[in-house]
Structure 1
Amino acid sequence: MSDLKKGIPLHKQISDWLRDKIETGSLKRNEKLPSESQLSDKFDVSRVTVRRALQTLENEQVIYRCQGLGSFVSDQRSHHPIMEMRDFMEEMAAAGLEGSSEVVSFKQEIPNEKVYQILEQEPGKKLTRLDRVRLANGEPVAFDVTWLPVFYGQLLQDYDLADTTIFKILEEEYDIPVLRGCYRLEAENADKYVAKHLHIPVGQALTLINRISYTVGDKPVYYQKRYYRSDKVTYQVQVSRGNEVQPPSGELPVNEFRPTFNL
């Protein structure tokens, strides 16, 4: 049953409902909003109407959206980046380690439906898949599965991906800036394929980072699943209280979020 009223644009009622949830604290900073499908069912409207409501809130910087991950409540207290987006080699250098990669495979193939949605690609067409072992001082610490639209994949073909990164190639060789990314951390056990390349037992606990990187116009460049060895890599979060009034939830602003290595 729809909760909407007559005489008021549908998308406005949905955006007002979400805004009220955020302002009253029912939805907190960086909390994920209900999905487009859930909102569509709740208000008995099309997903186009829901997207228009979400776009209104995004334009007002009330929420931010990550393709494939969903919509989240913005932190409007800060209008500057609080964390720097780094590639693997930059993370290694910051930790005082020598980073390198071993390319396991680099080819075009058909992904699952989720990858098409994240990269905004037409289902059924082949995309570029790049699998790499990531090493720190010669020791395997992570395994990456990276999907790219064929256009970006073709730009990488003539480069040694063992010693350079996607960021570096696109930005320095083709003037294609990687401007932002969305991350999601999960826990996952190693399957046979990943375990083989990380030299660990099948079933060992890993930290899985789903990462989507974007260029100009919010165009997705790649979707990556990075499996970090949890016995070698942990993530460290640094927070500060600051001088601003804290939200009711008591959450603290994140100043730094970076990996630390146990080698």
Structure 2
Amino acid sequence: MSSTLHLSKTELIHIAQQRLDAAIIDHPWSEREKIALSCRILFDQGHDSGLAGQISCRAEQENTFYTQQLGLGFDEITQSNLIHVNHDLEVISGSGIPNPANRFHTWIYREHPEVNCIIHTHPLYVAALSMLEQPLIISHMDTCPLYNDCAFLPQWPGVPVGNSEGEIISQALGNKRAILLAHHGQLVVGTTVEEACYLAILIERAAKLQLLAMAAGEVKPLPPQLANEAHDWISTKKRNSVNFDYYARRAINMHPDCLL
């Protein structure tokens, strides 16, 4: 006889979370390896746009971060060809130079101390939605980690290589984990690389779903209470790790050089 059939949903969620926390062991990848894996994961998920887009994460040294070197696409990134830069985008170690657009990363790191990873890309469906100057609509269970968690910048401030663009984007992000940038692309942040990578996957899927639904009719809203419940259910460190590990295994199988 089952002993859980009488339990409430809240109690069952608590039990499931306890089991997940106990069963899942975090993979011992370094931050550099996780960035390299994220580049390959997102390349396979359609985030490739030539040399556009940056991934960065805080390094051990204060006010510094790891990122890609300018000139390499997401499909070429390995943990060994990443560079270590400071907030003036001066290279501390590694070859090459960073993308000048990394300047707005420095503003986000300065103003959002809880953020440890930033992913900015121009994937196809996000870019198409951004051209409509409409915010992202979350109306499907799978994309609920972004429910009430995606800001919108309705006006394009120009190429983000100046300080003003960094200030504008950082302020528009606010306390959200994602932002849709009109006429531009998307940006997500996370306390971990795993969290940011998973949100980047979800925001492109959400944009694709929205455009498909809009072509067929009116997008209907989710019940707020249930959507917030789903947001919190999926948005945990362990679930981020589990999701990242799945995509990482696929990336390693398809791109075994990424951890070199």
The TM-score bracket by the shorter chain reads under 0.3
TM-score, length-normalised on structure 1?
0.25
Question: Higher RCO, 1 or 2 (CA under 8 Å, sep at least 6)?
Answer: 2
The structure where helix makes up a greater share of residues is 2
Output the TM-score relative to the length of structure 2: 0.25
